[in-house]
Every structure is written in structure tokens, then in C-alpha cells.
Chain A
Amino acid sequence: MLNTEYHFHHPEKRYFYDYSPGDDFYAMLIEAHRDLSDEASALLNARLVLLLANHIGDLRVLREAIAAAKTDL
């Protein structure tokens, strides 16, 4: 089942405020997009989707994720 609860964490790091690991991730992500053209940004997102999808692997979860992403688009 697709987990949409907040799940960001770092096993070796102690966080004192709950928003911090999510903010760490988001900062990493926008840093990766910095100075990219629109096309390169879109390609980066697509490549990320493929990498993470393969990591998850379970097609039931991926189908749910696609449905959730398409809702309200």
C-alpha cells in the first residue's frame, strides 16, 4: 500500500524538530534543479521517478502512486 504519511528520516541523524528531515530532502531536490533549463528539469524529474519506481518495485504501490499523482492534476 502506498504510504502517504510523512516518512522522511535519516537513520544516523538526530532531529529535534519534525519538519527538518523533510526540509533536508526538499533542499536537496531543489538544489539538484538549480540552474537547469526547463527541459533538463523535466528530464531530471522523469529520471528520478524511474529510479525511485524501480527501488519500490511493487507494481501495486506504483499503480496507486500514479493514481494519486493524477488526482486533482
Chain B
Amino acid sequence: MLATYQYPKFPYLRPTELDLAQPRHVPVVVVGAGPVGMCAALDLAQKGKPVLLVDEDDTVSVGSRGVCYAKRALEILDRLGVGERVVQKGVSWNIGRTFYRNDEVFSFNLVPEPDHHRPGMVNLQQYYLEEYLVDACRRTPGLEMRWKNRVIAVTPGEEQVALRIETPDGAYSLTCDWLIVADGARSPIRHMLGLDIEGKIFLDRFLIADVVMKADFPAERWFWFDPPFHPGQSVLLHKQADNVWRIDFQLGWDADPEVEKRPERVIPRIRAMLGDEREFELEWVSVYTFQCRRMNRFNHGRVLFVGDAAHQVSPFGARGANSGIQDTDNLIWKLNLVMEGKAPATLLDSYSAERTYAADENILNSTRSTDFITPKGSGSRILRQAVLTLARRHPFARKLVNSGRLSVPSFYVDSPLNTPDTAPFSGRMVPGAPMDDAPLATPDGTSTWLLQVTGNRFQLLYYADDAASIPEATATALTQWAIAPVPIEPLVITQRATAPAGIATYHDVKGRVRERYDLTPGSCYLIRPDQHVAARWRHFDAEAVSQALARATFRDRW
């Protein structure tokens, strides 16, 4: 029981399958109702596919656990209709400060440019995010959630996957076309299938304490190397909702986790940090270790792994839940096309290719942070000391201070779905890039954002200075994929007026789209349903667009 939060208990209902002689068949089963499993289920159900989501428990995450939700994850949650609640309840922040002993040595701003809808990061206890996702799942037609349903056997086949599921009333069997595995870092299903996950364990332990207190520290991430109140180790402070503060103390490998969790050990550490006079209440304590590792591939026939089940990272950088949510963003539109028979099943290989690439990037960055926070050997310890002591005076050294490189989306520059550029563009919206946001307005003046009018389908973004100047023939050509098997919806970005032929038109009110995408009249971008760039051209060429779409869906490989 927490002082600030009451865990909901979700109702277990006796599955009717317990009384069936023959196993029922369903299109998709998602295992694990954590943030990643729920995002997967929600995304697919919102695309009109029936989804069965099973979880062995009947409540949300115990303890605050994942705390930092990054800009890209918020944009995906926006697409799923949950982002606004998370941002409203959570604590938005952009600034991180790093201290060495008593001095600030380095600070960073996650969103250094203006005109983005979402902040760099929102801190929110994981149980709130899960509660909001459960609410959204319950409201979504075709999405059935089953609590206290634990998968105890998986038999993958060519045509379908057979499952055995245990409940308080006994076990039942089920078959499905696709199994999405989101059952967490220990992944029982990964073990059942005997699939390998490789990487390394770090020899260090960290204590996390959630503390309720009234404090007027700013909403920033504060990180200390070797502070006077916890000498020789690091400390991290984060603000969460409800006046809950997350404090993370590095303990070293020799610490005894059971002893360190006791309040009589934890409270003096916090007192030393906060000063003696401040009142606080200890809400939740945990001691953790971590590893950085990933599966060789994330799709195994009809079994698809997402989130921690597929890859794990150190927590410095908030790259765990955030990358898991991005996995689902990448997977679900592809699975949806495959289920509709509009793309070959091999399109799912591109899920594995793009997301193992992202996992490698996350593992690389979080391993480097860990190597900086926990130096191994005297050589790396002395180099770190050199960086930290130079950082006070020299800008280059500040950039080398690594207390966590926070979650940012991957640029899938090597993706097989990309069509290479045929003309030069400046900026970073290369094929494979995650789209930059920018403010827009409709012709009647209603404000919106680029990332709110994209996503969930292929779109062709077409730029004209004056939308009224777009020739009728061009406008008609832009709409030619409206009834194609995989439709492309045109979207005109302009400075003024409205495009002909009823094409959705948005005004680039601050010029940011033009600037960030290096647009000149006639430039167009083919945008994937997960808001990554598939291809771009200086001039509209219908044949090139068709080819790029075929490439981005593997329809050219059929």
C-alpha cells in the first residue's frame, strides 16, 4: 500500500473456453499487460483487429518502476489517445544537471529548439501509465483483457500457435495466428521456446527510494558524481507526480540487497542528502542490478517479441519502456498489413531488422553511461576524474560527462524499407528518420501539430508556397492512391490557401516544417504509418512514389 496511490484490482472472469471441447481460435494474443503489451494490443485493436490480451496478475505495476517517458513515446501514446493524460498527470522536464562533488559541471536541454508539441521527457510513476492504458484498452471494441491468465505452454507452428493458459479455475487451450510476447525481462515464453538472449551483466547495485515530500526543487533531472552526502558513488534525483521523488543511490556490487532495503538503512542515506530538517515519508524501496542484452532476432515465425522480453538495457537513459513502446509502433502497422494480406509475412523481418538496430543503439548508449558511472579499473577511473575536473572550465569536457544519454528515437538509416535520396536535402529528415514535429494550422486557423495529423497510414506530404497554385492535374494525381490496396493519403503543407481536389491542407504557421524538412515548392515526403520517413523527392513523380510504397511494404518482394 502506498500513501499516494491505491492499486486497482481488475476483475478475473472465468474464461468460457474452460468448458469448450475444442480450443477456440483467435487472430492475435498479446501476453503481458505492461506498458508495452498494452500499447501493442491497443494499436492493433484500434486498427480494427480483434485482440486477446492476457496477464498473469490482476493489477498494475507494483512500485513506481519506469518513471521517464520520452518525447517519442509520448508522441506514440498521443497516437493511441493516452498521451494527454500522461502529460497532464506527469511532470514535464527538459533540463538535466550533473554535479561533481559540490559543483555543477554539465547541463543539457533535451529539446533545445522551440515549436515541438511534447516535452523532452515526462516523469510519471509506471502504475499511472498502466492505469491509463488499461482504461483505454477497456474502451476499445474488440480488445478483450483477461487477468489471472498465465501462459504455461506455447507450441509454435507453420499455420498457427497453440497456447495452454492457466487460470484460478483450471487450464484451457487456445490457438492464434500471431502471438505477441510482452512478458518482460525474464520472459517465461522466451524460456519455454529455448530462445537465446545474449549480453552482459553489470557488477553494480542500485537502491531506488520513492519519497513523498514537499520540496521546491525544480522539475529537472539532477545527477551527482561523488557527492559529499554519498561519497565515492553516484546519486540521481527525479520528480514524479503527487510530490513523489525518486532517489537512486549507487551502492556498489558488494552491498547486500536485503540489508540495504531496510528503512533503518535507507532513511539515514536520504537524510544525509536532504538535510536533517526536511520531513519526508518513504513510499517504496527496491534494490536492482541490470544487464544489457538482446535476442538475436525479434520475430520467430508467428511469435513476435517486444520490449524487455526482447532486449534489456541499464536504466541510465530511460531506454527501457521507451524503446519497448517504439517496438510496438514499428511492429503493429506491419502486422496489420500482413494480417490483411496486403504485405508478405517477410515484412515482419524488417521489424526485427529495424528494432534490433535500435536495441543495439540503446544498449551501446546505456552501456557507455554505465561504464562512465561505474568505471572498471583504474585506467577508466582516472580518465573519468580527468573529464569531471576539466568540465568546470572547458566546454569539450562537459560534453564527455556521461550520466545517461536519454532515450531518443533511432534513425533507421540502413533500413530495407528506405528509398535512397535522388536529390540533395539539408537537415536530418533522411529516409528512415523519425519525423520532427512542427506547429501547423488548418486553413480556418485551428492550431494543430504535424505529428497529430500524421500516423496510422501512409501519407504523402507535398509542399507548395501557395496551395491554390497547385495545378488541378497534380492535385488529382496526388489522390490516385486513395483506393489502392495500401492507400496513400496526400497532405499539403503550405504558407497559404487551400489545395484543390479536397486534399487535406495545413499551413506551416511558423515555417518550421519548411525549415526542418528542407522543403522547396514541389518537395514531397512519403511517410510511414509509424511517422518515419520512407522516401523524399524534390518533385512529385507518381511512379517513384508507387515504387517507394512497394519497397516500404515489401510488396515489391512478393
Contacts of B379 in A (CB 8 A): 30, 33-34, 36, 38, 41, 44
* B376-402 interface bits toward A, Cβ cutoff 8 Å, 1 = contact, 0 = none: 111110110001011011111111101
Q: Any chain A CB within 8 A of the CB of B413?
A: yes
Q: Any chain B CB within 8 A of the CB of A12?
A: no
A38 to B397, alpha carbons, bound, how many Å? 23
CB distance B371 to A27 under 8 Å? yes
Q: Any chain A CB within 8 A of the CB of B65?
A: no
Would you give the shortest CB distance from B397 to chain A, in whole angstroms?
8
Closest to B410 in A: A16
Q: Any chain B CB within 8 A of the CB of A55?
A: no
CB distance A19 to B399 under 8 Å? yes
* A19-45 interface bits toward B, Cβ cutoff 8 Å, 1 = contact, 0 = none: 100110011011001111010010011
CB distance A33 to B396 under 8 Å? no
Contacts of A18 in B (CB 8 A): 399
Contacts of A16 in B (CB 8 A): 411, 428, 433
Q: Any chain A CB within 8 A of the CB of B221?
A: no
User: Which of B394, B399, B408, B413 has the most chain A CB atoms inside 10 A of its CB?
Assistant: B399
Contacts of A8 in B (CB 8 A): 396, 399
Contacts of B383 in A (CB 8 A): 26, 29-30, 33
Would you give the shortest CB distance from A25 to chain B, in whole angstroms?
8
A35 to B377, alpha carbons, bound, how many Å? 7
Q: Any chain B CB within 8 A of the CB of A68?
A: yes
Contacts of B496 in A (CB 8 A): none
New contact pairs (17) apart from A4-B394, A26-B402, CB-CB < 8 Å: A3-B396, A5-B395, A5-B396, A6-B398, A6-B399, A23-B365, A23-B405, A26-B368, A27-B368, A30-B371, A33-B377, A36-B379, A38-B378, A41-B378, A41-B379, A68-B390, A71-B393
Question: Nearest 8 pairs between A and B by C-beta?
Answer: A33-B379, A41-B379, A4-B394, A30-B380, A6-B399, A6-B396, A38-B378, A22-B399
- Show the binding face of B for A, using Cβ within 8 Å: 365, 368, 371-372, 375-380, 382-383, 387, 389-390, 392-400, 402, 405, 408, 411, 413, 428, 430, 433
- Show the binding face of A for B, using Cβ within 8 Å: 3-8, 14, 16-19, 22-23, 26-27, 29-30, 33-36, 38, 41, 44-45, 68-69, 71-73
A–B pairs, 21, beta carbons within 8 Å: A5-B395, A6-B398, A8-B396, A14-B430, A19-B399, A22-B396, A23-B400, A23-B402, A26-B368, A26-B387, A27-B368, A27-B371, A30-B379, A30-B383, A34-B379, A41-B377, A41-B378, A44-B379, A68-B393, A69-B390, A72-B392
